[in-house]
Structure 1
Amino acid sequence: MSIKHSLLALLQSGPMYGAQLRQEFEHRTGGTWPLNVGQVYTTLGRLERDALVVSTGAADEEGRIAYQLTDAGRAEVQQWWSVPVGREQTPRNELAIKLALAVTLPGVDVQQIVQTQRTATMTHLRDLTRLKRGADGEDLAWELVLESLIFADEAEVRWLDHVEARISRLTPTRAKASRTAPVATAENAGAREGARR
């Protein structure tokens, strides 16, 4: 998530101080991704250093300083709106990592991990669906965030079904192969790596 660009986008509507930006961000995203106010001010400091925002002057009676976009900041946020979200770096997915490790380590009950995760994901999906049904259609931003989370949970359940099916098909073969497989050596590992290329 780009906090930098989110703050710049919010500042398009006018000058705001850090706590206001935090409140606006959380309101517009339904509180799904809470921001630490310190994180907001740290980001504002970097944006000011990079001449994308500038303070509006002296602090108010509560000691708050408002920030506004510079021309460079406006150009930066317009650029952000116009380009797709990059996929150059795949974000770490803890569940995928957990299952990748589980299927490669002895003594781990992968089926149980899948079942436990499916139960948790289905519970979360039901909660999100209930929230969606309760939405009144007045807050499009919040509903779009909700729908994104619902689609992500549905995709995760489908992927868990796929993982379970793969494991079911491979379990007898893997057990047989592990009884007859040679001990792994550096030479074997190198050959396997070469075959992947």
Structure 2
Amino acid sequence: MSIRHGLLALLERGPMYGYQLRAAFEESTGATWPLNIGQVYTTLSRLERDGLVRPLPENDGGQRPYEITDSGRAELTVWFATPISRTDRPRDELAIKLALALTTPGVDVRAVVQTQRTATMRALQEYTRLKTREAEPGDMPWRLVLDAMIFQAEAEIRWLDHCETSLVRYTPPPAKAPDPAPYEQQQEVKS
């Protein structure tokens, strides 16, 4: 998964500074992807350079919150609308994407699920078509890889069906603002 898009999704909730983003990222992904604070600030610098976020004035605690720009929102919209490629998944980006979609204001989670289902069905059809090709004597390794891709696509479709069924019964919790506690605690120390 792109940390870049994860941070943009979190900033769609409202302005946050680095440590808030790291905590919200880990909370949103069920701590399946621990995030180094250096990665957060490096990514924020690149996002700022690319015009996708902008820094706000430092607060009294010395933290600099960031907010998403209109260009950042457009980038995030494209990301949520684009299916994940099956070619490079060091982590389950789809599961993390859906977890973030559930907690990002304005995202149609059902549309994200349907877009992914359509792309996965297309891939499954292509894999099945390839499997109908007549086998050559040295094709066994390729066929095993192809079988793995077929099974993974079938499993993903079953999981997406499960997600869709779960969404029917899902009632989102009330939106909560980023935790200002670290900022308030610093204010008390200065007083």
Tell me the TM-score range normalised by the shorter chain.
0.3 to 0.5
State which structure, 1 or 2, has the greater radius of gyration over its C-alpha atoms. 1
State the TM-score, normalizing by the size of structure 2: 0.46
Q: Which one has the bigger helix percentage?
A: 1
